[in-house]
A and B are shown apart, each in its own frame.
Chain A
Amino acid sequence: MAELLQLLVNGLMAGTVLAVPAIGFTAIYAVLRFPNFALASHATIGAFGGYVANTAGGLPAWAAVAVAFAVAGLVGVLSDTFVLRPLRPAGAITTAIAAVALNIALENVVRFVFGNDHRGYDLPLQRDWQVAAIRIGPQQFQNLVIALIAMAAIFLFLALTRTGKAMRAVADNPTLANVKGVDADRVGRLVSFVGMGLAGVGGMLLGLDTSIDPLTGFRVILSVFAAAVVGGLGSIPGAVVGALTIGVAEELSLVALAPAYRSAVGFVAILLVLTLRPRGILGERAY
């Protein structure tokens, strides 16, 4: 029982962290209408950006997360503007395939610069906390808080700012947004920045728990995609619900499955949702 509770707590914490890149993925899908699988390499790039700021720049982990956001967001805007945007008129499938190719290319850039070694962030050593029968790592907890702050920021941005509303308008009805004077290119750049920035934060948060290497993003992209699909592609609250579902399911799978089969959870979840409820739990509710 206590073990199950521990897995549930771990799952909810992992799901909250997973929600950050899943929001990025789904936001990009909502506005640009293609699944941007290059999110994996952007998560890795963010993780390394944060790593440099943390180890060479001496920033504490929580501050280096902002660097992860900025670096991954910037690369996101550039890669979208120069690689993916010119291909979008050719359709979502072509663009998605190009995104996979872009992902491999960017991953190799990281490999070229940093090598294949696993690297760890500079973190103070801390003892785990014990709450009743549940164990929680302070770093895990900090990651949870950072993820919640990032999510709150994105929700406030979408709900309250003029630019955030314009972004939702494009997601809702791009033709009408054009009629009303919204600059779709600008919104496209913005969603690439924010979406890939969130991917970078996600990559770094995952790395803080373990270590980072050029495949950091690749290892989670299936879970990210599954979270977005389970919640309903294009729906931000859906991405949160989906990420929590996937996070908990992956942890609970450890009861029955060897850790190596954990990634099967995301795969099965995608298959189930696409067969039973193709629009996901929350459907196409963009916001």
Chain B
Amino acid sequence: MGVVTDPRPLLSVDGLVAGYTATDEILKSVELSLQAGEIVSIIGPNGAGKSTLLKVIAGILAPSRGSVHLRGVPIHGRRPREISALGVAFVPQEQNVFPTMTVRENLEMGGYVDPHGSRAKIDAIFTRFPPLAEKRRHAARTLSGGQRQILAMAMALMVEPAVLLLDEPSAGLAPAAAEKLFETIRAINQDGVSIAVVEQNALEALAIAQRGYIMVDGRNSRSGPAAELARDPDVRRIFLGG
């Protein structure tokens, strides 16, 4: 399972407070850690602040307090391009491709911060995801929902990230497409990319993760090994409708 016992996590979030204006606090105090090689799932009700958390890690929002460290180095408050260049790639929940640009151009934009070798990387992605290769010259808006999510992830892979942040990748997908997507996430992880994934689809998300976090109203509610969370009766009642 690749759970490494390095005491220093690859990514760690401590006491994070953040919001969209100077005064509002959407995140009230959030902790998170991601070990090298791990998949961690973040689940929670609508409006809990899951997307906000990923936006802070990716540098789109600056936190008002707290910290984000990558390999022990503080990265909070840096610009998205710096964070991306350091190896943290973010796939937003919505509007995560450039709709009028072709699939190939979207991949080029994925690797915008580091264009060297992008041709080879794109070829590798086309080999790995044949449906994208077939549609390489088509505008991204013509892709199906599942293909679009794959493209969004492939764009993130263009920077050869150490950490991949995924925000509800399976949202709006048919079960078969979602299934395929989770398989892809697992495969990307097996290539050595550590992944933090926010999901509505809690059971599926916990099934591919080593550990899980439950966020409620801008705070951590529960965390622990994914399998335990998936069995927990409280968790099942609240999030899984079971």
Contact = CB atoms under 8 A, between A and B. Distances in A.
Report if A and B associate in a common complex: yes
A175 B100 contact: no
- Name the residue in B84, B98, B105 with the highest tally of chain A Cβ atoms < 10 Å from its Cβ: B98
Interface string A166-178: 1011001101111
Contact of B98 (A172, A181, A284): A172
A127 interface: no
A168 B95 contact: no
Interface string B16-35: 00000000000000000000
A285 interface: yes
A234 to B, nearest CB: 10
Contact of B101 (A165, A178, A182, A183): A165
Contact of A176 (B81, B98, B113): B98
Contacts of A284: 100
Interface string A258-284: 000000000000000000000000001
Nearest to A181: B81
Interface in B80-138: 80-81, 84-85, 90, 92, 95-101, 105, 108-110, 112-113, 115
A168 B100 contact: yes
Contacts of A285: 100
B235 interface: no
B100 A183 contact: no
B100 A165 contact: no
- Name the residue in B81, B109, B115 with the highest tally of chain A Cβ atoms < 10 Å from its Cβ: B109
A179 B58 CA distance: 8
A175 B97 contact: no
Sorting the interface of chain A by its residue count into under 10, 10 to 19, 20 to 34 or 35 or more gives: 20 to 34
A178 B113 contact: no
Given A162-B115, A180-B155, A285-B100, A175 B110 contact: no
B97 A169 contact: no
A286 interface: yes
Contact of A166 (B58, B80, B95, B109): B109
- Name the residue in A180, A285, A287 with the highest tally of chain B Cβ atoms < 10 Å from its Cβ: A180
A173 B92 CA distance: 12
Contacts of A176: 92, 95-98
Contacts of B113: 180-181
Contact of B100 (A162, A166, A286): A286
Main SS at interface, chain A:
helix
Contact of A178 (B80, B96, B155): B80
Nearest to A166: B112
Contacts of A177: 98, 109
Contacts of B112: 162, 166, 169, 180-182
B100 A181 contact: no
A178 B58 CA distance: 10
B104 to A, nearest CB: 10
Contacts of B109: 165-166, 169, 177, 180, 182
B26 to A, nearest CB: 17
Contacts of A182: 81, 109, 112
Contacts of B96: 176
A59 B92 CA distance: 52
B171 interface: no
Nearest to B115: A162
Contacts of A172: 98-101
B143 interface: no
Nearest to A162: B115
Contacts of B105: 165, 168
A179 B101 contact: no
B138 to A, nearest CB: 14
26 contacts: A162-B112, A165-B105, A165-B108, A165-B109, A166-B109, A166-B112, A168-B100, A169-B101, A169-B112, A172-B98, A172-B101, A173-B97, A173-B99, A175-B60, A176-B92, A176-B97, A179-B80, A180-B80, A180-B112, A180-B155, A181-B84, A181-B113, A183-B81, A285-B100, A287-B100, A287-B101
Given A172-B98, A176-B98, A181-B113, 5 more contacts: A172-B99, A178-B80, A179-B80, A180-B81, A180-B155
